[in-house]
Structure 1
Amino acid sequence: MRSRSSTIRTHRAVTTLAALLAGALALSACGGSDDDKKTGGGASSSAGEKGSGVTLPKLDGASLEVAAVWTGGEQKNFKQVLAEFAQRTGAEVTFVPAQDPIINFLGSKIAGGRPPDVALLPQPGAIKQAVDKKWAKPLGPQARAELAENYTQGWQDIGKVDGTQYGAYYKAANKSLIWYNAKAFENAGATEPTTWQELLTTARAVYDSGVTPFSVGGADGWTLTDWFENVYLSQAGPEKYDRLARHEIKWTDPSVKEALTTLAQIWGEKDYVAGGASGALQTEFPASVTQTFTGGDQPKAAMVYEGDFAQVNIGETKAKVGTDAKVFPFPAVGSAAPVVSGGDAAVVLKDSEAAQALVTFLASPDAATIQAKLGGYLSPNKNVPNSAYPNEVQRTIAKALIASGDDFRFDMSDQAPQAFGGTPGKGEWKALQDFLQNPTDVAGAQARLEKDAAAAYGNGG
């Protein structure tokens, strides 16, 4: 059986975080720093954010390779973090671009005798697979000490397998946000919704104004799993969410039918998705964001669902977060708004002093503060100063995450075996892409999801 990730156990806690986030976003001031104009100029001073900073060894002559699936601005910003580590230690650090699924990518590297020293794994399921394959090495005492000082127990536990710490969650994500083009909303007389029904009303107002309501990055199947998870968590509740995440109930359950039927109210509505289903399935996530914030008051779509990290892509346009690009929490489908979190954990694959030192650094406020200043990033590290985030919207999201403690639900597909929840063209990604193409076939989607889940989990639900 798979290890159970640490999550909250009451609906009230989810409701509390959603209310906190909604209220805080409502109070957010307009404007903020232009993320893509930030540079590493402030990076070297970040050690001062926590007294003398984390203690690192001298590693002159050591070389490290770090693999992650990050691209674009996210990769560029992370490289500044690695550059700071290199400056402090004397080690040479190389970023290795990986492809999804990262477990397959790492398998090829390991088979060829060239594994990276450290990998950033985007799923708890991938951490467990790396442990099962005997690739991952336990974190050393220094890294564990940084985690104990800077992370809540829940964020530590997600990186554990059978009680042993293998992962340090460097990056978190609030995946319960909808970003919108403020000018398009203004022209349509649309308002920020708090319920699913209000979202449909807002979408109709936008549509009637001549703008397509939603941009969907359907070429990246993980965006569709995130849509489903928010609807399912809010509608079915956290207890069923946990059971479905562990495949203790089948995907043919009536609660899944209800969630898919709800999604079809948007995915199946004629002209509600930019480019239609076919266009969405050819649109990757970054483009789904940028096309929402280009074209002035006539963008390809007025809204795009995804996490706080969408700010990296918004930064590639002329839109300013907090003025041109605004955000509201994913609306409540059931009795409470959903709060779905995700993240990426640093895992040691080659057990050396340098690799352990890098993960220790990534678990410290020093590293996270550098990337926080660059924008489009959220850290679960509770000792990163909120002032490090470059705009009020991001500071609000970060504050809500830290205030929640362990009150969150982790991304369901990321908890699943990677064959089901994290592989392009297969499992849940492919089944939901097929459903986006034909949202009337709820029963067929459920049957495909259950067949693939049963095979991946090795049980019948």
Structure 2
Amino acid sequence: MSRKFGAVAVAGAVTLGLSVFGLTGCGGASGSGGNGELAGQTIEVTGPWSGDEQKAFQKVLAVFEKQTGAKVNYTAAGDEEPTVLQSKVQGGAPPNIAILAQPGAIAQFAREGVLKPVTADVEQQVDAHMAKAWKNFGTVDGKLYGVYFKAANKSIVWYNDRLLTQAGYQPPATWDDFVKTVNSLSDTGVAPLAVAGADGWTLTDWFENVYLQTAGGEAYDKLAKHQIPWTDPSVKHALQVLQQVFQPKLVADGNAGALQTDFSSSVTKVFSDAPKAAMVFEADFVGQVIASNTKAKVGDDARFFPFPAIGKPAGKPSGSVVTGGDAAVAFKDDKATMALMKFLASPEAGVEWARSGGFLSPNKDMPLDSYTDDLTRAIAKQMLGADDIRFDMSDQAPAEFGATKGAGEWKDLQDFLGNPADVDGTAQRLEADAAKAYHT
């Protein structure tokens, strides 16, 4: 669901000199056709990023151009990218490479036979620098197509440090402590949570974090593929756990008000000069909204803690992270195309964007000091160190179920927020909508 929020502002660009890693290190020029070997070659790339995100990515591409002599043209397609790509494929003019956020779209294009599996040297680069989970996310029917370049950590709770400190609370590590904390805060007159119920995708992220921890990774994968029904007891149990915090007294402006609150507004409710809530759950990109829309200082006024561990002893982190991300896929398999794919899998590729801000890399060998602040480093470290990492479930679903405003999972979970007592009815509606979307 990394693209459901859309493009976000990237703060102050800082240019990184190529000498930081050296052109032959970390998959540099010698592995990407260096010394101008690709001079005269043009590579067309289509992606979702526009505005400041596009500028940051073009800085990354400029590093590759300087190393290889190739020219890379980038076209922004926005959130309609899968549709744009389908038209280009049908017209016989696909780009060399596309950046896709949805594993479902990668699988669709791969099974249509229009994507090219990566070459052996690209796969070796992925094996060397990525955790196995990221390779699995980009693999379809045993072949690697997607090289993940940008990631999102979606297992984060952000909090207003002043409000929590004044109330005498420490960031809770376990779900039980989290529930106790939000209820205690409510009793003192502080609204504990801002919930962006108007944007159904945020509710899917709430559910996915709870479900991963309560049902486990194997069940999570099966539910993502609709191999178990949404009426399964594991789904109902997750809804019951979520029900504990989806209570009117715990949510700023009550549940009805939350259903009128969009994502950006949920963040400003916590970090404005006159905050209306103490905490908001969402991914690392909350930091960009804080920086762009409030006077709060990320890492000082605005801090985070990992999504609370459910069913684990105190002091034991959950070890589970729900993630999203953007992967490069190739519609052509010529030398220049695969050279860029290999570069994007290298540790040095993400450094330029990391220095600019608004970026997390799934590459375990990109130095953490590439990030410009301690908070982003901590968020990246939590994601990279997770024992159990799973891709956003709604991004794996057919769009009519997992990515459509006012329909499917988004609408069903909005109805649940409006009436959290209706666990059975919610599960039944989710299953009915999933069955239609998955054609089962």
- Write the distance in 1 (CA, Å) between the matches of 2:110 and 2:85: 13
1:94-115 deviation line (CA, Å, top 9, x unaligned): 2414215x43343345456664
Residue 158 of structure 1 pairs with residue 137 of structure 2: yes
The question of whether the paired residues in 1 share the 8 Å contact of 2:268 and 2:275 is answered with no
The question of whether the paired residues in 2 share the 8 Å contact of 1:43 and 1:84 is answered with no
Moved more, 333-342 or 118-127: 333-342
1:182-220 deviation line (CA, Å, top 9, x unaligned): 112123223211222322232234334544322223343
Return closer, same or farther for 1:41/1:146 CA change in 2, 3 Å cut-off: same
SS of residue paired to 1:139: coil
Quote the sequence identity (%). 48
Summarize the alignment of residues 57-136 of structure 1 with structure 2, pairs less than 5 Å apart.
57=33, 58-60=38-40, 62=42, 64-68=44-48, 70=49, 74-88=53-67, 89-99=69-79, 102-111=81-90, 115-136=94-115
Q: Show the counterpart of 1:324.
A: 301
Deviation at 1:333, TM superposition (A): 2.8
1:329-375 deviation line (CA, Å, top 9, x unaligned): 11123337343233221112355544433322211112112222233
TM-score of the superposition, structure 1-length normalised?
A: 0.81
Q: Show the counterpart of 2:430.
A: 449
SS of residue paired to 1:266: coil
**RMSD (CA atoms):** 2.9
Return closer, same or farther for 1:232/1:37 CA change in 2, 3 Å cut-off: closer
1:364-417 deviation line (CA, Å, top 9, x unaligned): 11211222223332212122012112222222332343344x642333223333
Deviation at 1:222, TM superposition (A): 2.4
Deviation at 1:159, TM superposition (A): 0.9
Q: Show the counterpart of 2:379.
A: 397
Return closer, same or farther for 1:401/1:333 CA change in 2, 3 Å cut-off: closer
The question of whether the paired residues in 2 share the 8 Å contact of 1:342 and 1:410 is answered with yes
Deviation at 1:305, TM superposition (A): 0.8
The question of whether the paired residues in 2 share the 8 Å contact of 1:340 and 1:409 is answered with yes
Residue 369 of structure 1 pairs with residue 351 of structure 2: yes
- Could you list the runs of 5+ residues in structure 1 that have no partner in the other structure? 1-34
The question of whether the paired residues in 1 share the 8 Å contact of 2:145 and 2:330 is answered with yes
Deviation at 1:449, TM superposition (A): 1.0
- Write the distance in 2 (CA, Å) between the matches of 1:352 and 1:422: 34
Deviation at 1:247, TM superposition (A): 2.2
Residue 341 of structure 1 pairs with residue 323 of structure 2: yes
Tell me the amino acid that sits aligned with residue 427 of structure 1: G
Tell me the amino acid that sits aligned with residue 193 of structure 1: P
- Could you list the runs of 5+ residues in structure 2 that have no partner in the other structure? 1-8
Work out the number of aligned pairs and report it.
419
SS of residue paired to 1:381: coil
Return closer, same or farther for 1:37/1:225 CA change in 2, 3 Å cut-off: closer
Residue 250 of structure 1 pairs with residue 224 of structure 2: no
- Write the distance in 1 (CA, Å) between the matches of 2:17 and 2:439: 46
Return closer, same or farther for 1:351/1:197 CA change in 2, 3 Å cut-off: same
Summarize the alignment of residues 21-40 of structure 1 with structure 2, pairs less than 5 Å apart.
38-40=12-14
- Write the distance in 2 (CA, Å) between the matches of 1:92 and 1:44: 18
The match for 1:421 among 396, 399, 402 is 402
- Write the distance in 1 (CA, Å) between the matches of 2:414 and 2:365: 39
Q: Show the counterpart of 1:270.
A: 248
Q: Show the counterpart of 2:389.
A: 408
SS of residue paired to 1:137: coil
Higher relative CO (Cα under 8 Å, sequence separation at least 6) belongs to 1
The question of whether the paired residues in 2 share the 8 Å contact of 1:50 and 1:365 is answered with no
Tell me the amino acid that sits aligned with residue 155 of structure 1: W
TM-score of the superposition, structure 2-length normalised?
A: 0.84
